Amino acid sequence: MDIIKSLQPAKIGKNECDNRDMLTIGICQMAPIWLDQKATLDKVIAQIELAASQGCSLVTFGEALVPGYPFWLAITDAARFNDQKQKAIHALYLDQGVMIERGDLAGVQATAKNHKIAVYLGIMERAPDRGGHTLYCSLVYIDQQGQIGSIHRKLHPTYEERLAWGSGDGHGLRTHSLGAFTLGGLNCFENWMPLSRAALYAQGEDLHIGVWPGGLHNTYDLTQVLAKEGRSYVVACSGLMRKSDCPDHMPSTEEILENSGDFMANGGSCIANPDGTWLIEPVIEQEALLVADIDHAKVRQERQNFDLAGHYSRPDVTRLVVNRTRQSLASFEEDGQ
């Protein structure tokens, strides 16, 4: 794993009190051990430890990283109804999904606690509260004490993703405090949804985490746009997927390889400053840990002329209502209650 550090000096002032504004963050651009939950989580844990060794207080991972993004959908005629080939792949995918309630993330939580590092991790969540047989693209926040702070299920799968994932809800549209910063995160094309972003802005977000399956075409323009819009630091954390990462034991491996280029996802992880300039430009075609120091004073500087949840908002004219109820098929009333 290559380590790429920002060469830009982040600190504005020189007083000791300025250290309260500083935060060291890591962005892990890695490939999964595709459709192998345990092996991928072991790799994630190793990268958390690496980020901690670099002084990071936060490390992020890409969308659906555990156990991997369903790249086969676009290249194996996945829309064919009741197809045995697609059923076989899906059965494996579901089997390797992450069930948080049975402790699948316990090792990640323990590592976060041991190293006092917060984690944003993209998973395919197998959700017992929705019956346990549908996968949700979820972004999990684990704090520096190893506690799960939020589980955000992607509101709406994008295009072919709807063949493999269910639609989430607003329960995880939450922010978290870390040092001087307020963190929030969204999955992939959710980052294009103005109202979803507004739900985080309204909670004081000034460090935005956008997670992606991987692709420079996704991260190059939007990351800088969101930084300028939110006057926030914006992280784009992508996965990586090479043809060589496709396992032999997966159903339809030959068809997947035949229809794939060298990269199914070429990365594109990057960090933008609150003024929209690059702190770290997009990194492609390599596994890497991006490390940067960010300074909250820069956020406060950029909010001087535009703060879209504060002095530049008009809630008397336009206002957002967010439903954060976790959705489920049924609610149960027990006898005597």
Measured in Å, how far apart are the chain's first and last C-alpha atoms?
55
Reduce the DSSP state of residue 66 to 3 states and report it: strand
pLDDT of amino acid 11 = 54
Q: Which of 28, 63, 270, 298 is flagged as catalytic?
A: 63
pLDDT of amino acid 337 = 58
The vertex-163 CA angle with 197 and 324, nearest 5°, equals 35
Q: What share of the chain is helix, strand, coil (3-state, %, to 5)?
A: 30, 25, 40
* C-alpha span between 245 and 239 (Å, rounded): 12
Residue 124 pairs in a beta bridge with 137
**Domain ranges in the chain?**
2-8+19-302
Burial class (CB in 10 A: 0-12, 13-18, 19+), 295: buried
Beta-strand pair 118-126/135-142: antiparallel
CB 146 within 8 Å of CB 113: yes
Q: Which residues of the chain have pLDDT under 70?
A: 8-18, 336-337
Strand order in 22-29's β-sheet?
Answer: 2-5, 288-295, 22-29, 58-60, 118-126, 135-142, 148-153
Q: Which helix (H) or strand (E) holds 280?
A: strand 278-284
Angle between helices 194-201 and 216-230 (to 10 degrees): 50
Q: Which of 28, 56, 137, 188 is flagged as catalytic?
A: 188
Instruction: Indicate the residue type of 108.
Output: V
Neighbours of 259 (CB within 10 A): 15
Q: Which of 125, 154, 237, 298 is flagged as catalytic?
A: 154
- The CATH architecture of the domain made up of 2-8+19-302 is 4-Layer Sandwich (3.60)
Contacts of 215 (CB under 8 A, 6+ apart): 238, 265, 266, 267, 268
pLDDT of amino acid 145 = 98
154 included as an active-site residue: yes
pLDDT of amino acid 331 = 87
pLDDT of amino acid 71 = 96
